[in-house]
Structure 1
Amino acid sequence: MAVNLGSNDGGDLVENAEINITPFIDVILVLMIIFMVAAPLSTVSVPVELPTSSAQQQPRPDKPVYVSIKSDLSVTVGEDTLARADLGAALDGATKGNKEERIFLRADKGVPYGELMQVMNLLRGAGYLKVGLVGLEEMAGGAQP
């Protein structure tokens, strides 16, 4: 508690009931600065490999439509290599125009992420929004098949 030592007629000390919040504000400002500095450091990019998955295998359709990106960055629909500009027309033929059919996208391990995103943008631009990424299944113990 704070004590007021000002002049008093009776000579008795009067207690001051006000709370001093200055130290509290100082602590809050220091914490805010610490979090402002630490937040960008927590989002540092880390190199990752994404070829395997331990997720439960989903049932495949009778005739799945695969779009593949090979290591030389060529794109195939099924077994047919084609130009990226022809991807929408080839998918329309493979799915008989059904834009709701799931497209399975697979890429070689060495394909840059930007190339994968370009093909996904082409799929979205063609109206195919249901895209599944295909990877190798992880065996028990972390070994690949």
Structure 2
Amino acid sequence: MSMMNDAGGDGLATEINMTPLIDVMLVLLIIFIVTLPAINQAVKVTLPKATAQPTETASKDIDISIQADGTVLWNRVPANLDELRAHVVAAAAAAVPPAVNVYADEQVPYGSVAKVLAGVQAGGLSRINFVTEPVKETQ
């Protein structure tokens, strides 16, 4: 439907051309359809072993070890999660809270390590160090 301009009668159309707008919307729709599955999928990666500069540990630092079978050790003494929480609360009450060195076996599920770390943080210790073995360099 076109309307003629009363002043000049030169036949200018006053309606909006929808074709370019529809083209842009279709292109955006296709882009969203293609990229949405890539955004929702998690990327599966194998985390690399890394080396870090060794830090000096104080004699009063706490060592928490998590063995491959899930056993948790507090300074080389086996402890269940309740005993671990009691040890953490007692250590956090010190004037200068110690650092916690975590020795986790690489076969331990991440969920087990996360539970131990959550217990340590909930008890009031926030300086947590992960101890790893250096990667052997081959030439």
Q: Structure 1 residue 111 and structure 2 residue 96: aligned?
A: no
Cα separation, partners in 2 of 1:34 and 1:110, compared to 1, 3 Å = same
CA distance in 1, matches of 2:15, 2:56: 71
Residue 74 of structure 2 is aligned with which of 74, 77, 87?
77
CA distance in 1, matches of 2:5, 2:88: 92
State the partner residue of 1:59: 55
Q: Deviations over 1:10-30 (max 9, x none)?
A: 996444587646533542454
Say which is worse superposed, 23-32 or 131-140, in terms of deviation.
23-32
Note the C-alpha offset of 1:120.
1.1
TM-score (norm 1): 0.67
Residue aligned with 1:53, SS: coil
State the partner residue of 1:48: 46
Note the C-alpha offset of 1:76.
0.7
TM-score (norm 2): 0.70
Note the C-alpha offset of 1:106.
2.1
Q: Deviations over 1:97-131 (max 9, x none)?
A: 35743212121111111111111111122111222
CA distance in 2, matches of 1:24, 1:135: 57
Cα separation, partners in 2 of 1:93 and 1:32, compared to 1, 3 Å = same
Cα separation, partners in 2 of 1:14 and 1:71, compared to 1, 3 Å = same
CA distance in 2, matches of 1:98, 1:88: 18
More strand by share: 1
State the partner residue of 1:102: 99
Q: What are the ranges of 5 or more consecutive residues in structure 2 without an aligned counterpart?
A: none
Cα separation, partners in 2 of 1:19 and 1:106, compared to 1, 3 Å = farther
CA distance in 2, matches of 1:18, 1:136: 72
Percent sequence identity over matched residues? 27
Say which is worse superposed, 121-130 or 92-101, in terms of deviation.
92-101
Q: What are the ranges of 5 or more consecutive residues in structure 1 without an aligned counterpart?
A: none
